[in-house]
Amino acid sequence: MRVMTYQLQEGCILLNDVYSLTNKPIIPKKTVLTREHIQILQDFLIKDVDVESFLINGEPFLLGDVIEEDVVSLQVPEKSLIEQYIQSVKDYKQLFQNWQAGAPVEIPKVRPIIIPLLERILDQPSELFSLHRYSTRKDYLYHHSVIVGLLSGYLGKKLNYSSADCNHLALAGLLCDCGMSKIDPKIITKSSSLTLAEYNEVKRHPLYSYRMLEKISLLKDSVKLAVFQHHERIDGTGYILGVTGEKLHPFGKIVAVADVYSAMTSERPYSNRQSPFKVLEQIRLESFGKFDVQVVEALTNGVGKLSIGTKVKLSNGQRGEVIFMENNNPTRPMIKINENEFLELIKNRGIFIEEILQ
């Protein structure tokens, strides 16, 4: 819906890029507005903008007056995919807080959070790779859990797992950090570096998660193993047990990749989000040792689904069009900026694709 700039609140989500006097947007679409963003819009004398009808916390965006021609847009019978995602994050947060208070994990309450959303994502997979934009430092853990669940289920589909197994993978991804509910909340939300003792405590969360799930008969052993092993690495450098590839369950290898990708592309209490293509490149560099190569390729084919003519936004703010790609470097094509300017990302290692434009 379109609203006046003075009506904006922190937590509003932009639907479209906001431009001023240049071809580069002053604030890109899908941005979760902060007080600083709203001030920028006012400073640039932006009269009105398009935003979602809900806030990042899942609450409806209530205001007195909307622009008359957009009143119809408020009467949407079905939740948008993004609204359904935000609701899933909100519902997971409530469950997590219950677990912190000592409540057990109840699968009938967990499944509705992730399975219907996964089904929708599998029909609109391109939406999956923009969800990281909605993650906030405050609620990072809840966004992360939902995204890992969706990514795990999606990767299962790309690897030709059955629909049932994709659902099990989604549950594993969603629940892999449930054990964080047994860790001191001050450690979870700490914005500075952890002490060694704090870090060692955080590293125990896969064990805590497994113990919360191990006696639940509704969960397959493959789900429980994936939860326990999602921080293990094929070369034995992971934790908790430091086991190597042949002892890792395939589900664990999938959730491990989903977990790393989601963490690195999201706003976290102690670090900023990174470009999905930069993260993908880093994961690919480590895949010959730490991660399952097939899983990484499945992720690459999803995140980096580029073709000649694809419009992209770069990390330096420029926009352009993919005109040439090398199979060995799918994240670093040649970009046409304008009629007279071309950029070879393979020769400009400090610049990454930030976003695929619709």
pLDDT in tens, 293-327: 999 999 998 886 777 888 888 989 899 999 998 87
Q: What's residue 44's pLDDT?
A: 81
Give pLDDT < 70 ranges for the chain. Answer: 21-22, 63-78, 304, 358
Would you state the structure tokens that stand for residue 100, as one six-digit string?
A: 């912190």
Of 165, 171, 168, 170, the closest CA to residue 153 belongs to: 170
Q: What's residue 21's pLDDT?
A: 67
Instruction: Check: CB of residue 157 under 8 Å from CB of residue 166.
Output: yes
Residue 204: strand, helix, or coil? coil
Cα 280 from Cα 258, distance rounded (Å): 11
Of 302, 208, 303, 290, the closest CA to residue 252 belongs to: 290
Q: What's residue 302's pLDDT?
A: 87
Cα 352 from Cα 1, distance rounded (Å): 32
Can you give the pTM of this predicted structure? 0.83
Residue type, 143: H
Instruction: Check: CB of residue 66 under 8 Å from CB of residue 3.
Output: yes
Cα 300 from Cα 229, distance rounded (Å): 22
Q: What's residue 301's pLDDT?
A: 87
CA–chain centroid gap for 197, Å, is 28
Cα 193 from Cα 176, distance rounded (Å): 23
